[in-house]
Amino acid sequence: MPFWTGELKELDKLYESFKGHLPDIVKEMEQLIKTDDPNVVMLYSRRCLEVIVTDLCEIELKRPRKTEPLKGIIDKLNSEEKVPSHIITSMQSLNSMATYGTHPKDFDPEQVKPVLNNLAIIIRWYLKYKDFQIVSKTEPIVEKHEEKHEEIIQKKPVKEILNQKKKSLPISLVLLIAIIIVISVVVIFNIKGGQNIIPANYPDGLAYSTFTDTRDNQVYKEIKIGDQIWMAENLKAVRFNDGTPIPRVKDEKEWEHLITPAYCWYNNNRSAYKETYGVLYNWFAVNSGKLCPVGWHVPSNVEWRTLTTFLGDSLYNGKERAAIKLKETDNLHWTFNDTVFATNDYGFTALPGGERTVYGVFFGLGDMGCWWSSTEAEYIKGNGRNIEIDYEYNGVTDIEQYKQFGMSVRCVKD
C-alpha cells in the first residue's frame, strides 16, 4: 500500500462530489485515483492541473490556451490577480514537482504526497469557483440563541402530520404515528450531533484519570498510551491559558484571510457540536503556545509519530493499523469503520469532527478526524502539519495544510 493512500482517498471523496459533471477533469481524476504507480500519479495530477488552468485561461484571461506553457498561464493569472495567491502557490508547487514524475532519475516518491495535497487544495477552490458545493453527510442545524444553550426542537412536522391524520384515522393510530415520529426525530437528532447526544464510548477496564482546566472549569479525561499521557477528548477552550479570549470567526471570507489566531464550531453551531467534537482552531492559535491547559501542549509531529509507532505504525511502512486502535468503536459518530472495525484499544477515542477548509467551508463531519500538530510543513513553505484519520482507512495520515484550516486539537502532557 503506497504511503500516499490517504491523500488519494481524499481526492476520491472530492471526485465523488462532482462525478457526472466537469467531464474534462473527471476523465483525468478517474485515472489518478485508481493507480498506485507514483509516476502515473504525478502525470495525472499535472493533467488535472492543466484542465483547471486551461479553463481559467479561457474564462479569466479571455483567450484560448493553445500550446502556451502551463507555467506561463499560472504566472499570468497571478500577475493579473485572477486567482487567489495561495492557490497560485499550490499551482506553482504542483506544476514544478509533478514535472519530475516524467524524469525517473530526478524523481523522489516522497514528492507524491505534497503534489496530491496541493491538488486537493486547488480542486476544492475550483469547485467553489464553479459554484459546486461540497456537502457533508450531516445537515447543518439552524443556530438559535447559541450562547444560551437553547435546545433545538423541531415541533412543526409532528403537529402538521397529526392535524392531517386526525380527520381520517382512528385516535389510537394517530397516537402510534405520533410516538413513532417523535422517537425518530430524537434518534436522528442524537445521531447528527444534537445537544443531548450519547457520550463517546470508552473501553471497559482502562485506567482513565480526569483533570480540570482552570480557565473554564472544563473537565477532561486523560489516558496513558505508552510513555505519553493524552487528553481522551478534543480541546474545547475558547480562551488561551493566560485568560486572553481567542477570536471566534464565523464569516467564510474573514476566515479565509486570517493570519492570526481564531476558532469556530463546526457549522458555527456551538450547542450541537461542542460537547462531542470540541473546537476547530486555525494553526495560528496552535502556534501561540498558549492553547492547551497549563502543563499540557499541542503535540509536535514527532510526538504524533511516537504515538503511532507505539501502536505499530511508522506512518509509512505499508501496514498501517494505528487508526483502528485510536478510533471510537461502532458507528455512533463515524459514517462507517471500514475493513476492520475500530477497537479503540487505549481509549484515545478519535472522533470524526471534520474540518473547516481554508475557504471557510465546513467539510467531513462523520467521515474524518483532523488534528493539528505544532510543527510547520516540510514540503510546502508556510503550511502547518496535521494528522488525519479517515473512516475507510486503517492508517493515520500525515498531511500538510494551509494554516487557515480549522482542525481539532488533542493536547499531550508536558
The C-alpha cell that represents 111 in the structure block: 514528492
Rounded distance between C-alpha atoms, residue 259 and residue 262, angstroms: 9
3-state secondary structure (DSSP) of residue 390: strand
- Please answer whether residues 85 and 74 qualify as being in contact, where contact means their C-beta atoms are separated by less than 8 angstroms: no
The per-type count for the chain, helices as H runs and strands as E runs, is 13, 12
Amino acid at 414: D
Q: Is the Cα dihedral 87, 74, 96, 30 positive or negative?
A: positive
Say what the pLDDT of residue 91 is.
92
From residue 309, how far is each of 152, 247, 317, 349, 397 by CA, in Å?
A: 43, 35, 10, 17, 13
Say what the pLDDT of residue 222 is.
95
Amino acid at 195: Q
- Please answer whether residues 58 and 64 qualify as being in contact, where contact means their C-beta atoms are separated by less than 8 angstroms: yes
Residues 50-65 as b or e (16 or more Cβ within 10 Å = b): bbbbbbbbeebeeeeb
pLDDT of the chain along its 414 residues, tens only?
577 788 888 888 888 888 888 888 998 898 888 888 888 888 889 889 989 999 999 999 998 877 778 888 999 999 999 999 889 988 988 888 887 554 444 567 778 888 998 999 999 899 888 876 444 333 333 344 444 433 333 333 433 433 443 344 455 555 665 555 545 444 433 433 333 333 334 454 566 899 999 999 999 999 999 999 999 999 999 999 999 999 999 999 899 899 999 999 999 999 999 999 999 999 999 999 999 999 999 999 999 999 999 988 754 444 568 888 999 988 889 887 554 578 899 999 999 999 998 888 888 898 889 999 999 987 767 789 999 998 877 888 888 888 999 999 999 999
**Which has the closest alpha carbon to 220: 414, 410, 351, 372?**
410
**Which has the closest alpha carbon to 111: 410, 385, 394, 378?**
378
Rounded distance between C-alpha atoms, residue 166 and residue 182, angstroms: 17
* pTM score of the predicted model: 0.58
Element (H, E) at 51: helix 38-60
